[in-house]
Every structure is written in structure tokens, then in C-alpha cells.
Amino acid sequence: MAEYSALSLLKNALSGNKDWKPAWRKPEPKPSYDVIIVGGGGHGLATAYYLAKEHGITNVAVLEKGWLGSGNIGRNTTIVRSNYLLPESIRFYDFSVRLWENLSHELNYNVMFSQRGILNLAHSPAQADEYIRRGNAMCHGGGDGVWLTPEEIARKVPGVDLSASARFPVVGGLLQPRAGTARHDAVAWGYARAADRLGVDIIENCEVTGFLREGDTIIGVTSMRGEIRARKVAIAVAGSTSRVLRLAGIERFPIESHVLQAFVSESIKPYLDCVVTFGGGHLYMSQSDKGGLVFGGDLDGYNSYAQRGNLPLVEEVMGEMVAMFPAVARLRLLRSWGGVMDMSMDGSPIITKGPLPGMYLNCGWCYGGFKATPASGFSFAWTIAKDEPHAINAPFTLSRFERGAVIDEKGVGPTPKLH
């Protein structure tokens, strides 16, 4: 039954909005759980939901340092896509897109998933070849990739500079029609509410400060709210991965933390009805339902745990935006913010049992983990419940670094080694 129906909106509007039921409880932590999830971002919350829903494991606590949505789940540019090159990535991210397609119904919460498509602009014949190759790989893997000519791009995205004098001439573009955007806070709130309703304890303002151990085995955590024991401890802390692993004595791990900024302009009339990326540098832009242009570019380029960025990158991103869409040069910038990215060394995620007994780890999302939220939660829950990976995350365990079987997504993944 819809909890936020038109009738309940009207009723609560008339009663001063004082009677809304909280979307999740504020429980005190119990002394022990079957599973503790460290990190109440999108991935931690989705994992808790699928543990309860798919595996019947409901004696679960999600421990969040701040408030839900304070991390990258509430800071991203909301792009959902599966336009990858390598079969492992296509399989994983396409599975995620399929979960997105039913997510609002699954959670009974409108996550505003809008399949408006993503268009990657190509600016040289070599880049066009590369994108067409990727589109073919996507189609072979069961996904959707369509090549657009400049004439078709002119009709679809009239704001793009397609003139002969353009600084970066456009020779075509790869469109993934099923890609799109979603409302990022709603994803956190939707998973939180659904997990809570299944019995999961979501405990905010509860930073994990250490791990309880018996020998090498992790048997719980120390936190701002005391010691909490668990049979299994799962970590999903994105940009804080190296800091949290250090609490368990793991000093060396193939993850670096970097700042990524995002921007939103003042609201304008409908201007852009798909996501567009610029291939001459690194820029991605869409228009939100409120009318603001939402966009971002590259990492700031130095290691940091700060959730804010610096000015040189702002200038670079604005320069790319104006080169691609000259008409936006006179728009005012409304807000900018930053998040801490967990950059893995091959640009692909890690969803794994270990590295210590009793521990499970989910990280390495680089700047593309929002779109992965449903598949990540689904496969991490599977890994925790069954002590083995699901077929879709089997290639993404830690053993790939030992075996040299890295998943180096040159097609469209981040390239941490260049930063």
C-alpha cells in the first residue's frame, strides 16, 4: 500500500505535517547481531535490505557514522548506465539497470528513475571507432547501444555546438537509451525504510572506531555507542575504506581516496532531456526535474578525505561545459560540493568475503557506484549470506589482484593510474 498517497499528503498538509510516521525507527543498538554492516550509504542500506528480503536474515544492524545520505549516496550526479566494454562489467551493471527498472515498485518508494538515455559524444574518428566497439560489446552482452550521427545528435540535443568552428568537433555519439538518472536521496531513504520494515536496525551517529577480534577473526566492532558483537561484519564505507581497514590492522590495500566535485546551475526551462558526456575531456551533464543543470568532471587529482574540492578543477569543468554547450556560459552556478571516492587500481569494484575471517568488504566504486547500488547490495548480501560470491560479483573479489586478473575497464571506467 502506498504510504505517501495523495490522500495522506492532503491529510498531513491540513494537520501541519505533524502526523507522518518516521520512515525508519531510531533503535538502541543490541549487544549482538547476526550481521553488522558498517556504513549507511546506498550500498550498506541496499545490502541490509537484500539480506532481509532475499535471505531472511533480519537480525542486522547498519551502523552509520553520520546521518543517512551524508556520504556519496547523497552527493553524486545521479547517472545510471551500463555502457561498459568488458563482459564482466556489462553483466554486472546491466543486472543493476534491470533492478533499477523495478526499484520504485520493489521498495514502494518513488526513486524517480528516469530512463532518459546517456549520449557519449565522440570528437575524432579514432574515438568514434572506440565508442562503436563499445556499443557492439554492449549489444553482444544483451545491453543497448546505438550510434548517432551528428545530424541525429542535432535533433536530440540541440544545445551541443556542432558547428564547423567548434573547439571540439562532434563526429557522432554512442547512445544508451536505457540509461538515465534517479533521485539519489530517495534511493537511500527507500532502501532504509524497506530494510527497517523487515526488522533491520539502522543506527545513525554511530561511528565504528575499532574491531573486536578473536585471533585474526573479526567478532564485532567498537563504536561510539559501545561494543557490538556479530557473527559477520560487512564493511561498505566507500571513501573511508582505507581508514576503516586500518582500524582492523590492514595498512596496505589497493584503494586510494580522492575528491570528486559536482555542480548545479540555477534552474532553467527544459533544455536537455538526456545525459550527455563530452569525450574531449571529462564532463557529464543532465538537467534535474527542478531545472538545474547537474554536472561534474574529473577528480581533483590528489589524495584526500575532505568532502570539498578546490578551484582549479572548477575552472576546468566550466571550460569543458562551455566548449560543449556555448549557450550556458551566462548561467549562474547555484551550488558545488565534493565527495570522497574509493578509487580501485583497475577502476572496478571489490565485493568480497575477507580479507580477514568474519569480515566482508564492498568498495572500489571509483566515481561510478551510484548506478551499481542495487546490484552491489544484491550480490554483497548473497556473498555474506552464503559465504561465496554470486555469479555477477564472482569476477570482482580480491583474488583478482593476486591472480593478476584485473578488470581494467579502459572502455569507460575511471583510470586511477592517470591521476
Ligand X SMILES: Cc1cc2nc3c(=O)[nH]c(=O)nc-3n(C[C@H](O)[C@H](O)[C@H](O)COP(=O)(O)OP(=O)(O)OC[C@H]3O[C@@H](n4cnc5c(N)ncnc54)[C@H](O)[C@@H]3O)c2cc1C
State the minimum distance, in angstroms, from the CB of residue 155 to ligand X. Answer: 25
Q: Cβ closer to ligand X: 48 or 385?
A: 48
CA torsion sign, 39 to 40 to 46 to 49? Answer: positive
Q: Cβ closer to ligand X: 47 or 397?
A: 47
Taking the C-alpha atoms of residue 414 and residue 419, their distance in angstroms, rounded to an integer, is 10
Q: Cβ closer to ligand X: 43 or 390?
A: 43
State the minimum distance, in angstroms, from the CB of residue 308 to ligand X. Answer: 11
Distance of CA 239 to the CA centre of its chain: 12
Q: Cβ closer to ligand X: 29 or 296?
A: 296
As separate numbers, helices (DSSP H) first and strands (DSSP E) second, the chain gives 11, 18
State the minimum distance, in angstroms, from the CB of residue 275 to ligand X. Answer: 8
Taking the C-alpha atoms of residue 381 and residue 17, their distance in angstroms, rounded to an integer, is 36
State the minimum distance, in angstroms, from the CB of residue 247 to ligand X. Answer: 7
State the minimum distance, in angstroms, from the CB of residue 41 to ligand X. Answer: 2
State the minimum distance, in angstroms, from the CB of residue 150 to ligand X. Answer: 26
Cell for 6?
A: 495523495
Taking the C-alpha atoms of residue 165 and residue 66, their distance in angstroms, rounded to an integer, is 49
Which is nearest to 320 in space by CA: 346, 293, 347, 340? 293
Helix 125-140 / helix 87-101 crossing angle, nearest 10 deg? 70
Q: Cβ closer to ligand X: 190 or 239?
A: 239
| Binding positions for ligand X, rule: CB under 6 A | 38-44, 63-66, 70-73, 75-79, 207-208, 236-240, 244, 260-262, 296, 339, 365, 367-371
Q: Cβ closer to ligand X: 128 or 297?
A: 297
Q: Cβ closer to ligand X: 29 or 369?
A: 369
- Full DSSP string of 60-114: EEEE-SS-TTSSGGGTS--EE----SSHHHHHHHHHHHHHHHTHHHHHTS----B
State the minimum distance, in angstroms, from the CB of residue 3 to ligand X. Answer: 23
Q: Which residue is nearest to ligand X (CB)?
A: 41
Which is nearest to 351 in space by CA: 95, 106, 145? 95
CB 365 within 8 A of CB 389: no
